[in-house]
Amino acid sequence: MNHNLDAYAKYFLEVSSEQRLKIIQLLSQNTFTLSELAKEIDATKPEIHRNLDRLEKSGFIRKNSSGNFVLTTLGQMILGLVPNLAFVIDNKKYFMEHPINSLPEKFISRFGELFESKLLKSYVDVFEYWKSIYEEAEEYIYNILYDVPYFDDFVKPINKKLSQGVKIKSIFYEKAIVSDSRNDAVKKLKKYIDAGDIQRMMTKTVSAAVILNEKQSCLIFPNTDGKLDAGYALVSDDALFHQWCFDYFNYSWYNAQPFMERKLEKK
């Protein structure tokens, strides 16, 4: 497929101005006259007129029958792409150290859904949030696990939630390193495994780890060595962020293999 990069560049140029982006954003909320936009943005009328003219010629805005400026469908679509770029820019340092090479393209193209998130930057904060996902679950807990923690802080809330009817699905990295305490933990959970309340699968690769319940989500990417870096995590209770993590988990579950205990590595 041939792409007209020159034409794309011209459209990028039209929205490369902070003022033009602000105009598009305002028009997504309401209709405005030139004078109203000048007052709202605190700019001169000639400045606003010049930028309105450029946006109108590009097809991003138009005048309605009342003489007010309104956003076109093209303008709405361009505005919808901003969160994708904003998310990457806001987290550029993180992604320079955490490549996304192995992540399916269809999830990269949805990065804008991750915009309303917070980047945690310590193991303590990440594990506390992880634990809160377990503790606050009411319906389900879904995990993609690279290394498998069997601390009491994690095992106890899991036991409690299972007794309350919460369902658990976990995808284990087949080379995950597990602690010696795993055997005791599995014995405690065996009745739930046998009953199907805990379902397990395995995967040969982990492009990203997710931990989520029906409200909260935690997303962890690998570092440049290809290992999941639990010292950093993107977390949120935003609905779009959750949908991205939920869809990624289900995609990974569908492509995983049956669970085999013997493949897990002991410390």
pLDDT in tens, 22-32: 999 999 999 99
Average pLDDT score over residue span 52-76: 93
CATH top-level class of 92-266: alpha beta
Q: Name the DSSP class of 222.
A: B
Closest CA to 189 of 167, 215, 217: 167
Query: Quick one: pLDDT band at residue 157, thresholds 50, 70, 90?
Result: confident
Q: Where are the domains of the chain?
A: 5-81, 92-266
Helix or strand holding residue 199 (H, E)? strand 198-203
Q: Which value, in Å, is the radius of gyration of the alpha carbons in the chain? A: 24
- State percent of the chain over pLDDT 90: 68
pLDDT in tens, 182-221: 777 778 888 999 999 999 999 998 999 999 999 999 999 9
How far apart (Å, rounded) are the C-alpha atoms in residues 119 and 126? 9
pTM of the entire predicted model: 0.85
CATH second-level architecture of 5-81?
Answer: Orthogonal Bundle (1.10)
pLDDT in tens, 97-131: 999 989 999 999 999 999 999 999 999 999 999 99
Average pLDDT score over residue span 226-240: 93
